[in-house]
């Protein structure tokens, strides 16, 4: 069974608490990604998704100069690099998330996403089922 460290994205761009929402959105555009981890002194403290910017930012009429901590998600589900793909898939399905930060002693060392599972052949059918559940539930409008 594959370990997360074998399939995760290692080179993860992040922003800090000093950045504002506009800077995060610009980085998302430049990198063509939908989520940016937020770190403070190398510790993962939050995550901002494109959905967060729309729902908590634009829809609530916050300007681009808004502090990231005002709209970021800070109740994060994380995983260790030594966890299995099965464990990651189970966490993602349980919490209905598409991206899972990989941490070591609170420090961000990578991220695993549905895309990472898609490009790596999973040997565990249970992981495939969990990922299918995430996609089907989100497709049907359940968040």
Half-sphere exposure of 84 (CA within 13 A, CB side): 9
pLDDT tens column, 110-133: 999 887 877 766 545 545 666 666
Three-state secondary structure call for residue 106 = coil
What's the CA gap between 112 and 54, in Å, rounded? 23
What's the CA gap between 17 and 22, in Å, rounded? 13
Phi, psi at residue 36, to the nearest 5°? -130, 125
pLDDT tens column, 9-28: 999 999 999 999 999 999 99
pLDDT tens column, 30-48: 999 999 999 999 899 999 9
């Amino acid at each position: 069974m594959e370990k997360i460290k074998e399939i995760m994205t290692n080179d993860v761009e992040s922003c800090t608490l000093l950045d504002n929402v506009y800077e995060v959105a610009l980085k998302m555009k430049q990198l063509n990604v939908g989520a940016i981890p937020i770190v403070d002194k190398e510790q993962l403290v939050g995550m901002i998704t494109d959905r967060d910017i729309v729902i908590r930012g634009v829809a609530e009429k916050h300007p681009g100069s808004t502090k990231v901590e005002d709209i970021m998600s800070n109740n994060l589900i994380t995983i260790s690099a030594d966890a299995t793909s099965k464990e990651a898939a189970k966490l993602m399905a349980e919490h209905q998330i598409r991206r899972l930060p990989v941490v070591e002693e609170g420090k961000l060392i990578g991220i695993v996403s549905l895309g990472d599972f898609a490009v790596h052949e999973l040997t565990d059918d249970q992981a495939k089922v969990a990922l299918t559940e995430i996609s089907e539930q989100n497709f049907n409008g359940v968040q």
